[in-house]
Amino acid sequence: MIAAGLIVTLALGAAHADPPDTGTDDTGFWLHQVQGAHHDAPPPAAAPQADQHTQLQPAAIVGHAACAGADQAAGLLFDVTFCPGADPEPLPLTLGAIRTAFARLPLPAARLAIQPPDGLTLVNFATNFFTTDTHPLLRRVTILGRQVTIRATPSTYTWAYGDGERRTTTSPGAAYPRLGITHRYVRTGRYAPRLSVTYRGDFRVGAQPWRAIPGTVTIDGPPQRLRAVEATPHLVGY
């Protein structure tokens, strides 16, 4: 029995072209144009050699994730080797992956300083708030096997005064006597002011130029204890 002109088409994976920012490439491979003949009995002596057995080399399109599954299909694809001596190409870095790494960094909260110190202020007094945590932070992370440096820079500060009032600024405030960020409490009582810092991010791979990371990360600081009291005037002399 003779089976000639056999055409085999095998597709593994999905053929797709994602947008460049998703970082995915074609992860499948396709085999086509495989012809073969099988004979139960030897062909006539006069038959040309090409008629006895003809097999065209397979044509393959291989994506970077195809090699891992090639051994599973080896029994179906005759003696075809898809990745001889070659490792799959590394997955490309994407802004999405870098943005996720930036959002998961253990960035510190900004330390809130209050003047007057010692947790005590006066009603209707310009209580001063500031922080000295203003410098960029560098963090090195590994993303998809690549070393990436992320730079987190404080960009805005949100001051929550504990009495329902809040304010967002690009200034970190300053110590006395500059008094850049102040608040007046109109009632006596105990308050819990706190400071939140918002970081913007940049990244680079190796010595490549810095690139901006979309989005920001906000870190809330712990509340501070503050008590507002009234001052009582006392006559001490003339």
Q: Choose between 18 and 234: higher pLDDT.
A: 234
Using only C-alpha atoms, the chain has a radius of gyration, in whole angstroms, of 35
Choose which CATH entry (3.90.950.10, 2.60.120.260, 2.60.40.10, 1.20.20.10) describes domain 95-229.
2.60.40.10
CA–CA separation, 153 and 113 (whole Å): 20
- What pLDDT digit, counting tens, does each position of 57-84 carry? 333 333 444 444 444 444 444 333 334 4
CA–CA separation, 17 and 219 (whole Å): 37
Confidence of residue 9 (pLDDT cuts 50, 70, 90): very low
- What pLDDT digit, counting tens, does each position of 137-157 carry? 999 999 988 999 999 999 999
* DSSP character at residue 71: G
Rounded-to-5 percentages of helix, strand, coil across the chain: 10, 35, 55
The answer, as to whether pTM is greater than 0.85, is: no
Domain boundaries, the chain: 2-73, 95-229
CA–CA separation, 237 and 130 (whole Å): 37
* DSSP character at residue 170: S
